Structure 1
Amino acid sequence: MLDFMKHIAFKAGELSLAAAREPDSLTVEFKGEKDLVTAVDRKIEVFLTEEILKKYPGHTIVGEEYGTKTADEGCRWVIDPIDGTVSYVHGLPGYSISLAYQEQGVTRAGVVYGPLLGQMFSAEHGKGASMNRNRLQVSSRKKLRESVLATGFACLRAGAEDNNLKHFNKIVPRLRDVRRMGSAALDLAYVAAGKLDGFWELCLSEYDVAAGVILVKEAGGCVCDFGGKDNFPQQGIIGANPFLVEKIRSMLQHQ
Protein backbone atom coordinates (compact mmCIF):
# COMPACT_ATOMS: atom_id res chain seq x y z
CA MET A 1 0.00 0.00 0.00
CA LEU A 2 2.63 2.56 1.04
CA ASP A 3 4.84 1.85 -1.99
CA PHE A 4 1.84 2.39 -4.25
CA MET A 5 1.03 5.67 -2.51
CA LYS A 6 4.58 6.94 -2.85
CA HIS A 7 4.66 5.90 -6.50
CA ILE A 8 1.54 7.82 -7.50
CA ALA A 9 2.52 10.82 -5.35
CA PHE A 10 5.85 10.97 -7.18
CA LYS A 11 4.10 10.74 -10.56
CA ALA A 12 1.71 13.50 -9.50
CA GLY A 13 4.69 15.62 -8.49
CA GLU A 14 6.21 15.09 -11.94
CA LEU A 15 2.99 16.37 -13.49
CA SER A 16 3.17 19.50 -11.33
CA LEU A 17 6.80 20.15 -12.26
CA ALA A 18 6.17 19.64 -15.97
CA ALA A 19 3.27 22.10 -15.93
CA ALA A 20 5.31 24.67 -13.99
CA ARG A 21 7.93 24.62 -16.75
CA GLU A 22 5.25 26.02 -19.08
CA PRO A 23 3.97 28.98 -17.05
CA ASP A 24 1.86 30.34 -19.93
CA SER A 25 -0.36 27.28 -19.62
CA LEU A 26 -0.75 27.68 -15.86
CA THR A 27 -4.23 29.20 -15.83
CA VAL A 28 -5.50 30.39 -12.47
CA GLU A 29 -9.12 30.46 -11.36
CA PHE A 30 -10.69 31.68 -8.12
CA LYS A 31 -12.92 29.54 -5.91
CA GLY A 32 -13.26 32.58 -3.67
CA GLU A 33 -11.81 36.07 -3.50
CA LYS A 34 -8.37 34.69 -2.55
CA ASP A 35 -8.72 30.91 -2.93
CA LEU A 36 -6.83 29.80 -6.04
CA VAL A 37 -7.19 26.68 -8.15
CA THR A 38 -5.40 25.75 -11.35
CA ALA A 39 -6.00 23.26 -14.13
CA VAL A 40 -3.00 21.40 -12.69
CA ASP A 41 -4.79 20.86 -9.36
CA ARG A 42 -7.68 19.29 -11.24
CA LYS A 43 -5.46 17.29 -13.58
CA ILE A 44 -3.53 15.79 -10.67
CA GLU A 45 -6.68 14.93 -8.73
CA VAL A 46 -8.06 13.13 -11.80
CA PHE A 47 -4.76 11.28 -12.20
CA LEU A 48 -4.64 10.19 -8.55
CA THR A 49 -8.29 9.15 -8.56
CA GLU A 50 -7.89 7.08 -11.71
CA GLU A 51 -4.76 5.37 -10.41
CA ILE A 52 -6.38 4.54 -7.07
CA LEU A 53 -9.59 3.22 -8.63
CA LYS A 54 -7.62 1.07 -11.09
CA LYS A 55 -5.98 -0.70 -8.18
CA TYR A 56 -8.82 -0.42 -5.65
CA PRO A 57 -12.06 -0.05 -7.64
CA GLY A 58 -14.34 -0.34 -4.61
CA HIS A 59 -12.80 2.43 -2.51
CA THR A 60 -14.23 5.84 -1.68
CA ILE A 61 -12.21 8.93 -2.63
CA VAL A 62 -12.48 12.36 -1.03
CA GLY A 63 -10.67 15.06 -3.00
CA GLU A 64 -10.38 18.82 -2.70
CA GLU A 65 -11.43 19.68 -6.24
CA TYR A 66 -14.06 17.09 -7.15
CA GLY A 67 -15.54 16.15 -3.80
CA THR A 68 -16.42 12.59 -2.80
CA LYS A 69 -16.74 9.54 -5.01
CA THR A 70 -18.56 7.16 -2.71
CA ALA A 71 -18.20 3.40 -2.87
CA ASP A 72 -16.99 1.36 0.11
CA GLU A 73 -17.06 3.82 3.02
CA GLY A 74 -14.91 1.39 5.02
CA CYS A 75 -11.95 2.00 2.68
CA ARG A 76 -11.43 5.69 2.04
CA TRP A 77 -8.80 7.92 0.44
CA VAL A 78 -8.37 11.61 1.31
CA ILE A 79 -6.34 13.49 -1.27
CA ASP A 80 -5.15 17.04 -1.84
CA PRO A 81 -3.65 17.22 -5.33
CA ILE A 82 -1.71 20.41 -4.59
CA ASP A 83 -1.69 21.59 -1.00
CA GLY A 84 -0.29 25.10 -1.22
CA THR A 85 -1.55 26.23 -4.62
CA VAL A 86 -0.46 29.82 -3.99
CA SER A 87 3.13 28.65 -3.49
CA TYR A 88 2.86 26.51 -6.60
CA VAL A 89 1.55 29.37 -8.75
CA HIS A 90 4.31 31.68 -7.51
CA GLY A 91 7.07 29.14 -8.14
CA LEU A 92 7.82 28.63 -4.44
CA PRO A 93 8.76 25.24 -2.96
CA GLY A 94 6.09 25.21 -0.23
CA TYR A 95 3.54 22.98 -1.90
CA SER A 96 2.91 19.26 -1.69
CA ILE A 97 0.96 16.27 -2.90
CA SER A 98 -0.97 14.80 0.04
CA LEU A 99 -2.54 11.31 0.24
CA ALA A 100 -4.09 9.49 3.18
CA TYR A 101 -5.67 6.03 3.25
CA GLN A 102 -8.26 5.16 5.90
CA GLU A 103 -10.02 1.99 7.03
CA GLN A 104 -13.12 2.19 9.23
CA GLY A 105 -12.32 5.79 10.09
CA VAL A 106 -8.69 5.13 11.07
CA THR A 107 -5.88 6.53 8.93
CA ARG A 108 -3.66 3.59 8.07
CA ALA A 109 -1.12 5.29 5.80
CA GLY A 110 -0.15 8.75 4.64
CA VAL A 111 2.21 10.34 2.14
CA VAL A 112 3.22 13.97 1.72
CA TYR A 113 5.51 14.71 -1.23
CA GLY A 114 7.25 18.03 -1.89
CA PRO A 115 8.18 17.88 -5.60
CA LEU A 116 10.47 20.93 -5.67
CA LEU A 117 12.10 19.80 -2.43
CA GLY A 118 12.60 16.19 -3.47
CA GLN A 119 11.20 15.10 -0.10
CA MET A 120 8.88 12.10 0.21
CA PHE A 121 7.37 11.81 3.69
CA SER A 122 5.47 8.63 4.50
CA ALA A 123 3.95 6.86 7.49
CA GLU A 124 2.07 3.65 8.19
CA HIS A 125 -0.08 3.04 11.25
CA GLY A 126 2.03 1.40 13.96
CA LYS A 127 5.17 1.32 11.81
CA GLY A 128 6.64 4.79 12.18
CA ALA A 129 7.31 7.62 9.75
CA SER A 130 10.13 8.36 7.33
CA MET A 131 11.42 10.88 4.82
CA ASN A 132 13.27 9.44 1.83
CA ARG A 133 13.76 6.24 3.89
CA ASN A 134 15.20 8.09 6.90
CA ARG A 135 13.28 7.45 10.12
CA LEU A 136 11.53 10.49 11.57
CA GLN A 137 11.21 11.62 15.18
CA VAL A 138 9.62 14.78 16.51
CA SER A 139 11.82 17.25 18.34
CA SER A 140 12.46 17.11 22.07
CA ARG A 141 12.43 20.84 22.81
CA LYS A 142 10.49 21.70 25.95
CA LYS A 143 10.61 25.49 26.00
CA LEU A 144 8.64 27.72 23.64
CA ARG A 145 11.42 30.31 23.60
CA GLU A 146 13.70 27.68 22.03
CA SER A 147 11.09 26.49 19.53
CA VAL A 148 10.16 27.25 15.95
CA LEU A 149 6.47 26.82 15.11
CA ALA A 150 4.59 27.06 11.84
CA THR A 151 1.13 28.33 11.07
CA GLY A 152 -1.01 29.55 8.19
CA PHE A 153 -3.89 31.85 7.43
CA ALA A 154 -6.56 29.81 5.70
CA CYS A 155 -8.95 31.66 8.02
CA LEU A 156 -8.17 34.98 6.33
CA ARG A 157 -8.59 33.46 2.90
CA ALA A 158 -11.99 32.18 4.04
CA GLY A 159 -12.93 35.62 5.39
CA ALA A 160 -13.41 34.32 8.95
CA GLU A 161 -13.91 37.00 11.58
CA ASP A 162 -12.58 34.67 14.28
CA ASN A 163 -9.18 34.32 12.69
CA ASN A 164 -5.60 33.40 13.47
CA LEU A 165 -4.19 36.90 13.85
CA LYS A 166 -5.04 37.16 17.56
CA HIS A 167 -3.40 33.78 18.20
CA PHE A 168 -0.40 34.72 16.09
CA ASN A 169 0.16 37.96 17.99
CA LYS A 170 -0.02 36.16 21.32
CA ILE A 171 2.16 33.16 20.49
CA VAL A 172 4.95 34.56 18.32
CA PRO A 173 6.58 36.76 21.01
CA ARG A 174 7.00 33.60 23.11
CA LEU A 175 8.90 31.70 20.39
CA ARG A 176 12.37 31.56 18.95
CA ASP A 177 10.76 32.09 15.53
CA VAL A 178 7.85 31.20 13.27
CA ARG A 179 7.66 29.84 9.72
CA ARG A 180 4.99 30.05 7.03
CA MET A 181 5.41 27.30 4.43
CA GLY A 182 2.08 27.65 2.62
CA SER A 183 1.15 23.96 2.89
CA ALA A 184 -0.34 22.55 6.09
CA ALA A 185 0.64 19.06 4.94
CA LEU A 186 4.30 20.10 4.67
CA ASP A 187 4.15 21.96 7.99
CA LEU A 188 2.97 18.78 9.72
CA ALA A 189 5.58 16.73 7.87
CA TYR A 190 8.32 19.03 9.18
CA VAL A 191 6.94 18.69 12.69
CA ALA A 192 7.23 14.93 12.24
CA ALA A 193 10.81 15.38 11.05
CA GLY A 194 11.73 17.49 14.09
CA LYS A 195 12.61 20.47 11.87
CA LEU A 196 9.64 22.36 13.32
CA ASP A 197 8.57 21.94 16.92
CA GLY A 198 4.87 22.53 16.37
CA PHE A 199 2.09 23.77 14.10
CA TRP A 200 -1.32 25.34 14.60
CA GLU A 201 -4.00 26.63 12.24
CA LEU A 202 -7.71 27.35 11.79
CA CYS A 203 -10.23 26.81 8.98
CA LEU A 204 -8.57 23.79 7.40
CA SER A 205 -10.27 20.78 5.82
CA GLU A 206 -9.64 17.08 6.26
CA TYR A 207 -7.76 16.81 2.98
CA ASP A 208 -5.30 19.48 4.17
CA VAL A 209 -4.19 17.52 7.23
CA ALA A 210 -5.11 13.81 7.00
CA ALA A 211 -1.71 12.65 5.75
CA GLY A 212 0.23 15.07 7.93
CA VAL A 213 -1.55 13.92 11.08
CA ILE A 214 -0.41 10.31 10.74
CA LEU A 215 3.13 11.51 10.04
CA VAL A 216 3.21 13.47 13.31
CA LYS A 217 1.66 10.67 15.36
CA GLU A 218 3.92 7.97 13.94
CA ALA A 219 6.96 10.18 14.62
CA GLY A 220 6.03 10.36 18.30
CA GLY A 221 4.11 13.64 18.26
CA CYS A 222 0.63 14.67 19.38
CA VAL A 223 -2.28 16.12 17.43
CA CYS A 224 -5.41 17.71 18.90
CA ASP A 225 -7.89 20.52 18.40
CA PHE A 226 -7.70 23.84 20.25
CA GLY A 227 -9.67 22.30 23.12
CA GLY A 228 -7.33 19.34 23.49
CA LYS A 229 -9.76 16.89 21.88
CA ASP A 230 -9.95 15.07 18.53
CA ASN A 231 -12.30 17.47 16.71
CA PHE A 232 -9.64 18.61 14.28
CA PRO A 233 -9.44 20.36 11.94
CA GLN A 234 -13.02 21.61 12.51
CA GLN A 235 -12.11 23.10 15.91
CA GLY A 236 -8.61 24.09 14.86
CA ILE A 237 -5.56 21.84 14.80
CA ILE A 238 -2.34 21.63 16.79
CA GLY A 239 0.49 19.24 15.96
CA ALA A 240 3.60 19.26 18.14
CA ASN A 241 6.04 17.26 20.17
CA PRO A 242 4.59 15.91 23.45
CA PHE A 243 6.34 18.54 25.57
CA LEU A 244 4.90 21.54 23.74
CA VAL A 245 1.41 20.55 22.66
CA GLU A 246 -0.26 21.56 25.94
CA LYS A 247 1.71 24.81 26.14
CA ILE A 248 0.57 25.77 22.65
CA ARG A 249 -2.99 24.66 23.36
CA SER A 250 -3.22 26.71 26.55
CA MET A 251 -2.34 29.89 24.68
CA LEU A 252 -4.91 29.17 21.96
CA GLN A 253 -7.63 28.19 24.42
CA HIS A 254 -7.62 31.33 26.56
CA GLN A 255 -8.25 34.43 24.49
Structure 2
Amino acid sequence: MTDDAYDLVQELGAWAVDYLADRRPTSVRTKRDPADLVTETDEAVERHVRAEISKRFPSHRIVGEEYGTTGADDAPTWYLDPVDGTTNFVNGVPWFSFSLSLADAPTGPDCVVAGVVADPSRGEVFTAQRGRGAFVNGTPVKVSAATTLTGGVVLTEWSASKPWPGMSAFVEQLSSRHCTMRIMGSSALTLASIAADRGTAAVKGSFHPIDDLAGAFIASEAGAITLDEAGTRTLLPERGGLLVAAPGVAQDAWHAWTDGLGGSS
Protein backbone atom coordinates (compact mmCIF):
# COMPACT_ATOMS: atom_id res chain seq x y z
CA MET A 1 0.00 0.00 0.00
CA THR A 2 2.80 2.44 0.86
CA ASP A 3 4.31 2.70 -2.62
CA ASP A 4 0.90 2.84 -4.28
CA ALA A 5 -0.24 5.58 -1.91
CA TYR A 6 2.90 7.59 -2.58
CA ASP A 7 2.40 7.24 -6.31
CA LEU A 8 -1.13 8.57 -5.92
CA VAL A 9 -0.19 11.59 -3.81
CA GLN A 10 2.52 12.51 -6.30
CA GLU A 11 0.08 12.23 -9.17
CA LEU A 12 -2.63 14.24 -7.43
CA GLY A 13 -0.18 16.92 -6.29
CA ALA A 14 0.99 17.47 -9.86
CA TRP A 15 -2.62 17.50 -11.05
CA ALA A 16 -3.57 20.09 -8.42
CA VAL A 17 -0.78 22.44 -9.49
CA ASP A 18 -1.94 22.26 -13.09
CA TYR A 19 -5.62 22.60 -12.19
CA LEU A 20 -5.28 25.47 -9.70
CA ALA A 21 -2.55 27.55 -11.33
CA ASP A 22 -3.99 30.83 -12.65
CA ARG A 23 -7.53 29.72 -11.72
CA ARG A 24 -9.84 32.24 -10.03
CA PRO A 25 -13.16 31.44 -8.35
CA THR A 26 -16.39 32.38 -10.06
CA SER A 27 -18.67 31.79 -7.06
CA VAL A 28 -18.01 32.21 -3.35
CA ARG A 29 -20.19 31.12 -0.43
CA THR A 30 -19.76 31.07 3.33
CA LYS A 31 -19.99 28.03 5.59
CA ARG A 32 -19.71 28.24 9.39
CA ASP A 33 -19.21 32.01 9.58
CA PRO A 34 -18.66 35.00 7.26
CA ALA A 35 -14.88 34.39 7.21
CA ASP A 36 -15.21 30.68 6.31
CA LEU A 37 -15.29 30.72 2.51
CA VAL A 38 -15.85 27.98 -0.05
CA THR A 39 -15.77 28.14 -3.84
CA GLU A 40 -16.78 25.90 -6.70
CA THR A 41 -13.07 25.14 -7.12
CA ASP A 42 -12.77 23.67 -3.59
CA GLU A 43 -15.66 21.35 -4.36
CA ALA A 44 -14.47 20.35 -7.84
CA VAL A 45 -10.99 19.46 -6.58
CA GLU A 46 -12.37 17.41 -3.71
CA ARG A 47 -14.73 15.49 -5.99
CA HIS A 48 -11.90 14.60 -8.35
CA VAL A 49 -9.56 13.49 -5.56
CA ARG A 50 -12.25 11.44 -3.81
CA ALA A 51 -12.99 9.66 -7.07
CA GLU A 52 -9.32 8.80 -7.63
CA ILE A 53 -8.84 7.52 -4.07
CA SER A 54 -12.04 5.45 -4.18
CA LYS A 55 -11.03 3.91 -7.49
CA ARG A 56 -7.64 2.73 -6.19
CA PHE A 57 -8.36 2.20 -2.49
CA PRO A 58 -12.09 1.42 -2.26
CA SER A 59 -11.90 0.18 1.35
CA HIS A 60 -10.23 3.35 2.66
CA ARG A 61 -11.84 6.12 4.68
CA ILE A 62 -11.79 9.71 3.38
CA VAL A 63 -12.11 12.81 5.55
CA GLY A 64 -12.50 15.92 3.41
CA GLU A 65 -13.00 19.61 4.03
CA GLU A 66 -16.06 19.97 1.80
CA TYR A 67 -17.83 16.59 1.77
CA GLY A 68 -17.13 15.18 5.23
CA THR A 69 -16.29 11.58 6.08
CA THR A 70 -16.92 8.39 4.15
CA GLY A 71 -15.74 4.87 5.02
CA ALA A 72 -15.24 2.76 8.14
CA ASP A 73 -13.70 4.35 11.22
CA ASP A 74 -10.99 1.66 11.51
CA ALA A 75 -9.85 1.86 7.88
CA PRO A 76 -6.70 3.67 6.67
CA THR A 77 -7.74 7.31 6.43
CA TRP A 78 -7.09 9.98 3.83
CA TYR A 79 -7.23 13.60 5.02
CA LEU A 80 -8.00 16.04 2.21
CA ASP A 81 -8.10 19.81 1.94
CA PRO A 82 -8.72 20.72 -1.70
CA VAL A 83 -7.80 24.40 -1.28
CA ASP A 84 -6.11 25.22 2.01
CA GLY A 85 -6.12 29.00 2.24
CA THR A 86 -9.38 29.65 0.41
CA THR A 87 -9.49 33.24 1.71
CA ASN A 88 -6.15 33.91 0.03
CA PHE A 89 -7.35 32.13 -3.12
CA VAL A 90 -10.53 34.23 -3.28
CA ASN A 91 -8.63 37.47 -2.71
CA GLY A 92 -5.87 36.81 -5.23
CA VAL A 93 -3.13 36.27 -2.63
CA PRO A 94 -0.69 33.69 -4.07
CA TRP A 95 -0.33 31.57 -0.93
CA PHE A 96 -2.75 28.64 -0.89
CA SER A 97 -2.30 24.92 -1.37
CA PHE A 98 -3.70 21.46 -1.99
CA SER A 99 -3.15 19.04 0.89
CA LEU A 100 -3.56 15.26 1.12
CA SER A 101 -2.23 12.62 3.50
CA LEU A 102 -2.86 8.98 4.37
CA ALA A 103 -2.71 7.71 7.97
CA ASP A 104 -2.79 4.03 8.92
CA ALA A 105 -2.81 4.54 12.70
CA PRO A 106 -4.80 6.89 14.96
CA THR A 107 -1.82 8.63 16.55
CA GLY A 108 1.94 8.51 17.16
CA PRO A 109 5.01 9.82 15.30
CA ASP A 110 4.84 7.12 12.59
CA CYS A 111 1.13 7.13 11.79
CA VAL A 112 1.32 8.62 8.29
CA VAL A 113 2.09 6.65 5.13
CA ALA A 114 2.39 9.41 2.55
CA GLY A 115 1.54 13.06 2.05
CA VAL A 116 1.58 15.92 -0.42
CA VAL A 117 1.23 19.69 -0.24
CA ALA A 118 1.04 21.38 -3.64
CA ASP A 119 1.69 25.10 -4.10
CA PRO A 120 0.11 26.15 -7.42
CA SER A 121 1.38 29.73 -7.25
CA ARG A 122 5.02 28.60 -7.28
CA GLY A 123 4.63 25.34 -9.16
CA GLU A 124 6.01 23.40 -6.19
CA VAL A 125 4.93 19.99 -4.95
CA PHE A 126 6.10 18.93 -1.47
CA THR A 127 5.93 15.15 -0.99
CA ALA A 128 7.00 12.56 1.56
CA GLN A 129 6.79 8.83 2.08
CA ARG A 130 7.24 7.24 5.48
CA GLY A 131 10.89 6.58 6.22
CA ARG A 132 12.12 7.86 2.86
CA GLY A 133 12.50 11.60 3.35
CA ALA A 134 10.84 14.71 1.95
CA PHE A 135 11.07 16.30 -1.48
CA VAL A 136 10.14 19.45 -3.38
CA ASN A 137 9.59 18.71 -7.07
CA GLY A 138 11.57 15.53 -6.60
CA THR A 139 14.60 17.17 -4.96
CA PRO A 140 15.38 16.10 -1.35
CA VAL A 141 14.95 18.81 1.30
CA LYS A 142 16.04 19.14 4.92
CA VAL A 143 15.01 21.36 7.81
CA SER A 144 17.13 24.23 9.08
CA ALA A 145 20.38 23.52 10.89
CA ALA A 146 19.74 26.49 13.20
CA THR A 147 20.51 26.10 16.88
CA THR A 148 18.82 29.30 18.07
CA LEU A 149 15.56 31.11 17.43
CA THR A 150 17.41 34.43 17.44
CA GLY A 151 17.34 36.07 14.04
CA GLY A 152 14.99 33.43 12.67
CA VAL A 153 11.39 33.18 11.52
CA VAL A 154 8.65 31.15 13.19
CA LEU A 155 5.37 30.60 11.34
CA THR A 156 1.86 30.22 12.66
CA GLU A 157 -1.75 30.50 11.50
CA TRP A 158 -4.99 31.82 12.93
CA SER A 159 -7.43 29.41 14.53
CA ALA A 160 -10.13 29.84 11.90
CA SER A 161 -10.21 33.65 11.66
CA LYS A 162 -9.11 34.36 15.22
CA PRO A 163 -5.92 34.29 17.29
CA TRP A 164 -5.52 31.03 19.21
CA PRO A 165 -5.35 31.03 23.03
CA GLY A 166 -1.81 31.91 24.09
CA MET A 167 -0.86 33.37 20.72
CA SER A 168 -0.11 36.85 22.08
CA ALA A 169 2.07 35.39 24.82
CA PHE A 170 3.89 33.31 22.20
CA VAL A 171 4.61 36.42 20.15
CA GLU A 172 6.07 38.05 23.26
CA GLN A 173 8.23 35.00 23.95
CA LEU A 174 9.57 35.08 20.40
CA SER A 175 10.18 38.81 20.55
CA SER A 176 12.27 38.38 23.70
CA ARG A 177 14.42 35.96 21.69
CA HIS A 178 14.73 38.43 18.77
CA CYS A 179 12.74 36.06 16.59
CA THR A 180 10.04 37.09 14.11
CA MET A 181 6.62 35.55 13.52
CA ARG A 182 4.82 35.26 10.17
CA ILE A 183 1.15 34.43 9.43
CA MET A 184 0.77 33.49 5.77
CA GLY A 185 -2.73 32.04 5.41
CA SER A 186 -2.36 28.34 4.46
CA SER A 187 -1.69 25.91 7.30
CA ALA A 188 -0.55 23.07 5.07
CA LEU A 189 1.92 25.26 3.21
CA THR A 190 3.13 26.90 6.41
CA LEU A 191 4.02 23.53 7.95
CA ALA A 192 5.51 22.12 4.75
CA SER A 193 7.72 25.20 4.44
CA ILE A 194 9.66 24.09 7.51
CA ALA A 195 10.71 20.98 5.54
CA ALA A 196 12.49 23.18 3.00
CA ASP A 197 14.33 25.35 5.56
CA ARG A 198 11.90 28.25 5.08
CA GLY A 199 11.61 29.12 8.74
CA THR A 200 12.95 27.30 11.78
CA ALA A 201 9.63 26.33 13.39
CA ALA A 202 5.86 26.53 13.04
CA VAL A 203 3.10 26.28 15.62
CA LYS A 204 -0.55 25.46 15.09
CA GLY A 205 -2.51 26.55 18.17
CA SER A 206 -5.22 24.04 17.27
CA PHE A 207 -4.46 21.03 15.09
CA HIS A 208 -6.84 19.75 12.40
CA PRO A 209 -5.61 16.79 10.33
CA ILE A 210 -7.46 17.90 7.20
CA ASP A 211 -5.44 21.13 7.17
CA ASP A 212 -2.29 20.18 9.00
CA LEU A 213 -1.35 16.50 8.82
CA ALA A 214 0.27 16.45 5.38
CA GLY A 215 2.44 19.49 6.06
CA ALA A 216 3.52 18.25 9.49
CA PHE A 217 4.36 14.82 8.08
CA ILE A 218 6.43 16.25 5.23
CA ALA A 219 8.37 18.41 7.69
CA SER A 220 8.97 15.41 9.95
CA GLU A 221 10.36 13.39 7.04
CA ALA A 222 12.72 16.32 6.38
CA GLY A 223 14.03 16.02 9.94
CA ALA A 224 11.65 18.22 11.94
CA ILE A 225 10.64 17.44 15.52
CA THR A 226 6.85 17.41 16.03
CA LEU A 227 5.60 17.93 19.60
CA ASP A 228 2.19 18.35 21.16
CA GLU A 229 1.49 20.65 24.10
CA ALA A 230 2.67 17.98 26.57
CA GLY A 231 6.00 17.62 24.76
CA THR A 232 5.12 14.22 23.28
CA ARG A 233 6.35 13.42 19.79
CA THR A 234 3.35 12.85 17.55
CA LEU A 235 1.83 13.76 14.21
CA LEU A 236 -1.79 13.49 15.35
CA PRO A 237 -2.17 15.18 18.74
CA GLU A 238 -5.15 13.97 20.73
CA ARG A 239 -5.96 17.55 21.73
CA GLY A 240 -4.62 21.08 21.35
CA GLY A 241 -1.96 22.19 18.92
CA LEU A 242 1.31 21.04 17.40
CA LEU A 243 4.85 22.38 17.13
CA VAL A 244 6.93 21.53 14.05
CA ALA A 245 10.55 22.60 14.47
CA ALA A 246 14.13 22.09 13.38
CA PRO A 247 15.85 19.86 15.98
CA GLY A 248 18.25 22.58 17.13
CA VAL A 249 15.44 24.93 18.17
CA ALA A 250 12.66 22.49 19.08
CA GLN A 251 12.98 22.63 22.86
CA ASP A 252 13.30 26.40 22.99
CA ALA A 253 10.37 26.81 20.61
CA TRP A 254 8.30 24.40 22.66
CA HIS A 255 8.99 26.37 25.83
CA ALA A 256 8.18 29.65 24.11
CA TRP A 257 4.87 28.14 23.01
CA THR A 258 3.79 26.26 26.12
CA ASP A 259 4.97 28.87 28.65
CA GLY A 260 2.38 31.15 27.05
CA LEU A 261 -0.23 28.42 27.55
CA GLY A 262 0.73 28.01 31.19
CA GLY A 263 2.46 24.74 30.34
CA SER A 264 5.21 23.06 32.28
CA SER A 265 8.83 24.10 32.00
Structures share fold, TM-score greater than 0.5: yes
**Cα deviation, residue 72, structure 1:** 7.0
Contact persistence 1:12–1:48 (CA under 8 A): no
Q: What residue is the counterpart of 2:67 in the other structure?
A: 66
Q: What residue is the counterpart of 1:235 in the other structure?
A: 240
Q: Within the alignment, does 1:7 sit opposite 2:14 as a pair? A: no
Q: List runs of 5+ in structure 2 lacking aligned partners.
A: 261-265
Q: Which moved more, 1:11-20 or 1:132-141?
A: 11-20
> How is 1:206-217 mapped onto 2 (pairs within 5 angstroms)?
206-217=209-220
**Cα deviation, residue 88, structure 1:** 0.8
One-letter amino acid of the structure 2 residue matched with residue 150 of structure 1: L
Cα deviation digits, residues 35-83 of structure 1 (max 9, x gap): 2222211221111101110111111101112111013733211111111
One-letter amino acid of the structure 1 residue matched with residue 242 of structure 2: I
Q: State the SS of the aligned residue for 1:154.
A: coil
**Cα deviation, residue 165, structure 1:** 2.6
> How is 1:110-189 mapped onto 2 (pairs within 5 angstroms)?
110-154=115-159, 157=161, 162-189=165-192
Contact persistence 2:16–2:118 (CA under 8 A): no
Q: Which moved more, 1:94-103 or 1:26-35?
A: 26-35
Over 3 Å counting, the alpha-carbon distance change for 1:233 and 1:210 in structure 2 is: farther
**Cα deviation, residue 145, structure 1:** 0.9
Cα deviation digits, residues 12-51 of structure 1 (max 9, x gap): 333333641xx5x132324213222222112211111011
Q: Which moved more, 1:47-56 or 1:97-106?
A: 97-106
Contact persistence 1:119–1:132 (CA under 8 A): yes
Q: State the SS of the aligned residue for 2:150.
A: helix
Contact persistence 2:174–2:180 (CA under 8 A): no
Q: Could you tell me the percent identity over the aligned residues?
A: 30
Q: Distance in 1 between matches of 2:163 and 2:224?
A: 31
> How is 1:50-65 mapped onto 2 (pairs within 5 angstroms)?
50-65=51-66
Contact persistence 1:227–1:249 (CA under 8 A): no
Q: Distance in 1 between matches of 2:245 and 2:255?
A: 13
Q: Within the alignment, does 1:80 sit opposite 2:90 as a pair? A: no
Q: Distance in 2 between matches of 1:222 and 1:253?
A: 15
Cα deviation digits, residues 128-180 of structure 1 (max 9, x gap): 1110111111101111113211111125x2586x3523322332342443322
Contact persistence 1:97–1:113 (CA under 8 A): yes
| Alignment coverage as a number of residue pairs | 250
One-letter amino acid of the structure 2 residue matched with residue 169 of structure 1: E
Contact persistence 2:28–2:37 (CA under 8 A): no
Contact persistence 2:96–2:185 (CA under 8 A): yes
Q: Within the alignment, does 1:199 sit opposite 2:229 as a pair? A: no
Q: Distance in 2 between matches of 1:49 and 1:73?
A: 18
**Cα deviation, residue 117, structure 1:** 1.0
